A and B are shown apart, each in its own frame.
Chain A
Amino acid sequence: MKPLSHAELAISCRDLRKQYKGSGEVVYAVNGLDLEIRSGECFGLLGPNGAGKTTTIEIFEGLLSPSSGDVEVLGMYWGENDNELRQKIGISLQETRFPEKLKVLETLELFRSFYREGRRPEDVMETVGLTEKAGSLVGKLSGGQRQRLAVACALVGNPRLLFLDEPTTGLDPQSRRKLWDVIRRFREEGRAVLLTTHYMEEAERLCDRVAIIDHGEIIAVGSPVELIAGLGGEHIVEFSMNNGADIPVDVLEDLPAVLEVRADGNGISLTVSEPHIAIPALIQSLQSHERSLSRLTTRHASLEDVFVNLTGRHLRDDEISSS
């Protein structure tokens, strides 16, 4: 990556660390992070629960101070230009419960009042699709509507940089898409977005670049396409055999177009460059070993596979059962 000038960088951090001293042992929530987020890109922090995403983003937001390391946000530093920085960033925390007894428009007017220059609350409601809910009490909103209100509160100060911590967690697919649209439009205006997610699909669809974090460390950075291409094969073939039968791994590894073999739950998962070569070879091999298939699926490789490939674990525990 060529070095970027400060004007082109929304956020940069070097050797960022955050330790928590709990009862006895020290937790390294963020453990030596180097990141550069450019203006005009949507950057995703992808990682399982407890990876350190929230800690990282809250350090960037000026809500937590790092144990060590340098952070530069929009060319400014926390502790020097705090008010100026807060004027220019928009934030949606992982969980905020807005006052239930305020109406949507009232909440936005409240947040608008904190900013020198901002957008009209009515316009922001339009952007996130809450106009019909202007007069509804926040307590009466659905989960998706509340999340859109949180994003609206982040947008109402007309920020140059938007931080969204798990903006779509727990939302239904439709609400999720609506939020994606809002985020895309913001990015298209040339501003930067940093979001965290543990949905790989979200990161793939929405982010220009992602950093995969695990245990407070970055284990991969790049565009979703680059990262998936890094697997060597872009396809995943998953299968299992009747009666829970087994087959030696080296048999599978020797099959043509198979790049990697991994036992996965109660089946086996192959990373494959050309499925039309690998699958017939697999079926033939199983027949010659007198094994019969109970299941065979094939799909495009995803960031999930990148994560599994790097860590041997799934991003979310619940994905083990579904794969």
Chain B
Amino acid sequence: MMKYHPLNELLKARIREFLREPETIFWVYVFPVLIAIGLGIAFSNRPVNRVFVDIQEHVIAEDIAANLKQDSVFIVAIHTESECKERLRLGKSLVVVIPGEGFTYLFDPTRPESVLARQSVDDALQRAAGRRDAVLTMDRHVTEPGTRYIDFLIPGLLGMNLLAGSLWGVGYYVVDIRVKKLLKRLIATPMKRVHFLIASIGGRMIFMIPEIIVILGAGVLFFKVPIRGSIFSILILSFLGAFSFTGVGLLVACRARKLETVSGLMNLIMLPMYLLSGVFFPPERFPGIMQIPIQALPLTQFNYALRALILDGMSLASQGWRLGIILAWGGISFLLTLRWFRWN
């Protein structure tokens, strides 16, 4: 047994370099969690709990305010006519009540909150004036885990991160050491080229594991995203996805001699997929003719499969043809890489 095995040493070198670069740690592990938390908070469909109502100055303004204040939802203020208009325009209030013969409501019909506010203010004032509801009604809220935006988002973010991590972690890395003439130096040694490729991919597969744990963990911990499928299947799927994305990363890095070139190519690949492949919203939102190319993208199929596993508890086997598309991308990329790779 040799003391130093090339594959082992190459892999160790990759891991050391990775762990000693605080920036990469931030982009790979911290940044996606920050996005998840940010978007999770922004889109957590919070119940409407505050309605800002202005009342135009009038002898009965105080009485109206007292009636509305019985419901803590209403934040009531009394202002002059011009102030009321100004505040409505600036969005400081949602609706203005103008007392007179009955009430006039001043509101912006293009803003849903404004329309809703007008409705609830009207209801409250009608009831205060003695209206009785004809039918008994009850409210039940649907905010069950598994159907919210954050549940959709977390698997998408994981897909996005695996794609970005694979492209940067392999594509950028390879061009970087090509620029630094380190690749040339390496191939001047008896190092087997396939060892180098395996170690580059292998390093990436290792860094991927904490990525999955961090992103899904944040989802479960902060937002109670349900993990309905088996963890093992999710891991295997992520592995296969990351493996294919690594292939694409190597292909992108195949010939590039400059970091600018490879960065440009990677953005060219990543940005459309972020948009089209169902990271932030479902790909079905795009018109029919775009569906064929969109469905052919590896990240689209990866995100579908990941959501099926995580949210619907499906098995990996049920995602067979999606895996086929994902792996086809990886396989073809690897073959082309072996053909075209610029070692020198």
Which residues does A use to contact B, with CB under 8 Å? 61-64, 83, 86-87, 91, 93, 95-99, 101-102, 106, 109-116, 137, 153, 157
Contacts and interface: CB of A to CB of B under 8 A. Distances in A.
A109 B190 contact: no
Given A110-B13, A114-B6, A83 B181 contact: no
Contacts of A87: 190
Interface string B1-19: 0101110111011001100
Contact of B182 (A64, A97, A137, A157): A97
A103 to B, nearest CB: 8
Given A96-B182, A113-B6, A114-B6, A106 B13 contact: yes
B185 A109 contact: no
Contacts of B181: 93, 95-97
A102 B17 contact: yes
Nearest to B195: A114
Contact of B13 (A95, A99, A112, A137): A99
Given A97-B181, A98-B182, A91 B188 contact: yes
A86 B190 contact: yes
Chain A binding surface, main DSSP class? loop
A102 B21 CA distance: 11
B188 A113 contact: no
Contacts of A115: 189-190
Nearest to B177: A99
Nearest to B19: A101
Interface of B: 2, 4-6, 8-10, 12-13, 16-17, 20-21, 177, 180-182, 184-191, 344
6 contacts: A96-B181, A96-B182, A97-B180, A99-B17, A101-B20, A113-B5
Contact of A114 (B17, B21, B184, B191): B191
Contacts of B6: 113-114
B30 to A, nearest CB: 19
A113 B190 contact: no
A57 to B, nearest CB: 11
Contacts of B9: 109-110, 112-113
Nearest to B190: A86
Q: Which 4 A-B pairs have the closest CB atoms?
A: A113-B4, A97-B180, A113-B9, A101-B20
Contact of B188 (A62, A99, A101, A137): A62
B188 A63 contact: yes
Nearest to A120: B3
A96 B184 CA distance: 8
B189 A101 contact: no
A78 B21 CA distance: 39
Given A96-B181, A110-B9, A112-B4, A102 B16 contact: yes
B207 to A, nearest CB: 14
A62 B343 CA distance: 12
A196 to B, nearest CB: 15
Given A93-B184, A106-B16, A153-B185, 16 more contacts: A91-B188, A96-B180, A96-B182, A96-B185, A97-B180, A97-B181, A99-B17, A101-B20, A102-B16, A102-B17, A110-B9, A110-B10, A113-B8, A114-B6, A114-B189, A157-B189
